[in-house]
Chain A
Amino acid sequence: MIPVLIGVTILIFAITQLFDPYMRASLYIRDPRQAKNIEGIIRKYGLDQPVYIQYFRWLDQVLHGNLGWSQSIHMPVLDALLTHFPATAELALYAAPLTIIIGTALGKLAAVKKDTAVDHLTRIMAIIGWSLPSFWLGIMLLAIFYGGLGIFSPGRLSTWAENLVLSGKFKVYTGLYTIDAILNLNGAVLLDALSHLVLPVTTLVIINMALLMRIMRSSMLEQLNKTYVIAARARGLKWKTVIDKHATRNALISVVTISGLLTAGMLSGMVITETVFEFKGIGYWAAHAATQLDIPAVLGFALFAGMVFVVANLIVDILYAYIDPRIRLG
């Protein structure tokens, strides 16, 4: 894992090298007055040094939390990441488990009822989900529910709730409004936050469960052909018990990796979904920054995303060991 993490930093650093030192220097300044001393800034950050020295100085800055200045929203990149991350985390908090639960349940159903109408139906659902452009699905859902029915709306909170949160009366503990609402014992805000989560979470679930469904289905089918399943039946266990207790557990092992990757993908920012629903997470910030050519923001975001992915992989490996005794003790 460590070499890959280092590699991630190297890649991002390599992208910064596409710009000349003046451009790169300007990324560290916060207001125009500092621009007069650009030479000083270049020297300060070592931007005129040989490449390998630059890398270490850049890395040093990164490790100290200095990822540059995001001019599109006027705050340091690191602050922007931290401010926007709770929204992304909240979206992932609901979308990831739902995707995993629904995806595995449908995959299992499709495998157990192989070649029946249910199987074909889920297969079509999977293909549709896999092929749907997430931004189009989001827009269609908004058109129907927001435009047409007026039930849901984009953003994280309605205006009144947002005002309440920004005022001192609502204590923000985590930045995840649903959790904070519970902690504040405020049912109205909780409901409002949840209603704003419905559409984006639905979009994410529809699109992501497709892959999970297919993998669970083939994993289940593989298990159902195994000898231990026959042996379990030969012991006199009911078919349902054999499926639930034995086959499903074994099948889920293969699903762990993809579930982990899925969750990692969500936590690293759902650029499209957040943009469509104006859900101000890190993906939204990054997309906005990209159109403004706010390079430190985009690169900081990419660095963060890469890190999250690598860490998620590690967690998946640990989870594997926990679930599969063959790896745990071997």
Chain B
Amino acid sequence: MRVEEILSPNEQLRVKDLIVRFYTYEGIVKAVEKAKLNLRRGETLGIVGETGSGKSVTALTILALTPPPGRVEGGSILFRRLNGSIDDILKLSEEQLIRLRGKEISMIFQEPNAALDPLYTVGDQVAEAILSHRLPEMLDKAIESLGEEVKNGNEGFSTRLQLWAYNEMKKNPKALKLRLVKRLPIIGKMISKRLNQVVREEIIELLRLMEIPDPERVVDSYPHELSGGMQQRIVIAIALACSPLLLLADEPTTSLDVTVQAQILDLIRRLKERFGASIIYITHDMGVIAEISDRVAVMYAGNVVEVAPVKELFKNPLHPYTKALLEAIPRPGATFKSIPGTVPNLVNPPPGCRFHPRCPYAMPRCVKEVPELKRISEEHYVACHLYGGEGHGEHSGGD
């Protein structure tokens, strides 16, 4: 599949005409309808929208983890891999996806407590990420550390056994003989000893990077023993353990205290600098969007209705929904303005533009025709019949 042409050199991800539908007893929920997004390398794209706008579903679909009973019914998600090639994530096999998830694309979640398995220590869970994708590197470290010991004259049975095992693992981690030996009572434990130590050190370093105090103790803690802020740092640690190209952040600070929110936001910003990842940051909080995004995409009822650089969006919002969102931000002294109406039922969404029932500028055309995302100015796109603009559904990531 020749997709090289379709992503421009500094584009990291492009979501094209994505359609996701949920098949429930109440009917077919048209959760995401021909969504278009693109992400440039190294940028933070904020996605803002109310609950039910389809933003979370889109994020999960980028990892091909659409929760059942959801199904992807159309569109493509083009992603530039680590090795430079370009893949449509929706067309990858599960085996290929396993190598992608956690390594090239990672995700952090809204409720850190729910994102961690209560039965395992946080260290164990970070180790899962590291061992899934960085095993050869860890094996090398273990071999090197064992080699040091051999040089110093320590050539005991345990050392030789581990050296043998690790070299074998490098060749073929799934080898039968390795699996058998691992199950032996005492020897099995012996084999993993040095590797576990190496991984543990790596994890502690990672936790330090997350600005977690006392990482040696935290690494052996269970999730419920940690505060919400700490748990979220762990979740971030897991996500960044393998230096992903893209980090999906699904409302990571929404369920945290306000002060902790600020800390985590700050941490994410600094980590992005350090790891060089691109971020898609999902939230319903305009304040956070303003702080963290380079560009913003506004989603409503499954559609992307406006995309613009953050300053431009705040200064010159075009779509009526965006305008309403900005006006709805509570300001001291001003009267509180909410958006009239409610989020539409997505089993039977309104025809044409899904926002038209709540839109103060609705025209007859809005009921009949779904507006396409059109380019209005340099970087500003909007899907609304109020605006003309160049009518191509594609928007490139800048040339």
Chain A residues at the B interface, C-beta cutoff of 8 Å: 226-228, 230-239, 246, 249-250, 323-326, 329-330
Contact = CB atoms under 8 A, between A and B. Distances in A.
Interface string B103-128: 10011010100111111100001001
B128 A235 contact: yes
A325 B119 contact: yes
Contact of A226 (B106, B114, B129): B114
Contacts of B5: none
A238 B102 CA distance: 11
B119 A234 contact: no
A325 B118 contact: yes
A28 to B, nearest CB: 53
Contact of B102 (A230, A234, A250): A234
B138 to A, nearest CB: 15
Contacts of B225: 329
Nearest to B133: A236
Interface in B49-68: 60, 63, 65, 67
Contacts of B98: 236-238
Contact of B106 (A234, A237, A238, A330): A234
Nearest to B95: A238
Contact of A230 (B60, B100, B129, B133): B60
B94 A230 contact: no
Nearest to B102: A236
Contacts of A250: 117-119
A80 B63 CA distance: 65
A226 B116 CA distance: 10
19 contacts: A227-B109, A230-B109, A230-B115, A231-B109, A232-B117, A233-B101, A234-B101, A234-B102, A234-B106, A235-B101, A235-B102, A235-B128, A236-B100, A237-B128, A246-B117, A323-B119, A324-B118, A326-B222, A329-B222
B63 A234 contact: yes
Contacts of B67: 230
Contacts of A249: 117, 119
Contacts of B102: 234-237
A235 B132 CA distance: 8
B99 interface: yes
Contacts of A233: 63, 65, 101
Given A236-B98, A236-B102, A326-B118, 16 more contacts: A228-B114, A228-B117, A230-B60, A230-B109, A231-B115, A231-B235, A232-B117, A232-B128, A233-B101, A234-B63, A234-B101, A235-B101, A235-B125, A235-B129, A236-B132, A324-B119
Q: Which 10 A-B pairs give the minimum distances between C-beta atoms?
A: A236-B102, A227-B114, A235-B102, A231-B115, A236-B101, A234-B107, A325-B222, A236-B132, A235-B129, A228-B117
Interface residues of B, number: 32
B224 interface: yes
Nearest to A249: B119
A230 B65 contact: yes
A264 to B, nearest CB: 25
B118 A231 contact: no
Contacts of A325: 118-119, 222, 224
Contacts of B107: 231, 234
A232 B235 CA distance: 11
Contacts of B133: 236
Contacts of A329: 222, 225
A226 B117 CA distance: 10
Given A230-B67, A326-B222, A237 B132 contact: yes
Nearest to B225: A329
A241 to B, nearest CB: 8
A238 B224 CA distance: 25
A236 B222 contact: no
B99 A236 contact: yes
Contacts of B132: 235-237
A228 B101 contact: no
Contact of A227 (B63, B111, B120, B125): B111
B238 interface: yes
For B94, B101, B133, the residue with the greatest tally of chain A CB atoms inside 10 Å of its CB is B101
Contacts of B235: 231
Interface in B199-244: 222, 224-225, 235, 238
Contacts of A239: 94
Contacts of A323: 119
B252 to A, nearest CB: 12
A131 B94 CA distance: 41
A236 B114 contact: no
Contacts of B103: 236
Nearest to B100: A236
Given A236-B99, A236-B133, A329-B222, A231 B119 contact: no
A49 to B, nearest CB: 55
A246 B107 CA distance: 18
Contacts of B224: 325-326, 330
Contacts of B109: 227, 230-231
A231 B106 contact: no
A196 to B, nearest CB: 35
A98 B381 CA distance: 64
A231 B67 CA distance: 12
Nearest to B111: A227
A325 B94 CA distance: 33
A329 B117 CA distance: 16
A254 to B, nearest CB: 13
A236 to B, nearest CB: 3
Contacts of B115: 227-228, 230-231
A23 B98 CA distance: 75
Contacts of B120: 246
Interface string B315-326: 000000000000
A329 B133 CA distance: 32
Interface in B165-180: none
Contacts of A228: 114-118
Contacts of B94: 239
A58 B98 CA distance: 68
Interface in B321-352: none
